[in-house]
């Protein structure tokens, strides 16, 4: 059972969450760099501000947190308090993610979405799949 937190504590916890340079994102970057890939970070001129942009291969990579992007795995939940706010927020996130991938594909980029849970379960396998995707000619992948 999850521990109930005071509103001020919960607010402070949520403020500490960052959208860039998260631990999963940094781990993926480190491994791709070791594999010889060079990339740009958080290109604000591209739809969705991808976490990684690999120009040589025309690939953008999003490292998504399962909670914030509502993956549907065991890391996914929805807060019980203020549920209308959270349901609206998460539903909008899901729609925005789909639109972003569509816009990027229209611009000619290939889109990889790496879920936090795949990195937690089998990091090495997730990286192998990502590397194979980058070198392939596939249009999209979800890992």
On whether residue 78 sits in a domain, the answer given is yes
The model's pTM is: 0.84
Cβ-count burial 34-53 (b if 16+ within 10 Å, e if not): eeebebeeebeebbbbbbbb
User: Which tokens hold the place of 107?
Assistant: 């611009």
For residue 60, give the DSSP letter.
E
The pLDDT tens digits for 37-66 are 999 999 999 999 999 999 999 999 999 999
On whether residue 2 sits in a domain, the answer given is no
On whether residue 48 sits in a domain, the answer given is yes
Residues with Cβ within 8 Å of residue 77, at least 6 apart in sequence: 67
On whether residue 1 sits in a domain, the answer given is no
Q: Where would I find the beta strands (DSSP E) of 9-139?
A: 40-41, 52-54, 59-64, 110-115
Question: Which range marks the domain in which residue 132 is found?
Answer: 19-142
On whether residue 14 sits in a domain, the answer given is no
CATH assignment at residue 118:
3.40.960.10
Strand partners, 39: none
The pLDDT tens digits for 108-142 are 999 999 999 999 999 999 999 999 999 999 999 99
Q: Compute the distance between CA of residue 142 and CA of residue 113 in angstroms, rounded to an integer.
A: 5
- Number of domains within the chain: 1
């Amino acid at each position: 059972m999850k521990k109930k937190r005071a509103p001020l504590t919960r607010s402070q916890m949520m403020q500490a969450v960052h959208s860039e340079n998260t631990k999963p994102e940094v781990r993926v970057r480190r491994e791709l760099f070791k594999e010889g890939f060079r990339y740009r970070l958080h290109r604000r001129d591209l739809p969705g501000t991808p976490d990684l942009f690999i120009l040589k291969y025309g690939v953008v990579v999003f490292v998504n947190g399962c909670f914030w992007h509502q993956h549907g795995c065991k890391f996914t939940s929805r807060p019980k308090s203020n549920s209308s706010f959270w349901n609206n927020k998460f539903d909008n996130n899901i729609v925005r993610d789909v639109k972003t991938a569509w816009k990027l594909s229209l611009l000619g980029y290939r889109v990889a979405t790496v879920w936090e849970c795949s990195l937690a379960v089998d990091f090495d396998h997730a990286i192998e799949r990502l590397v194979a995707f980058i070198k392939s000619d596939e249009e999209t992948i979800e890992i």
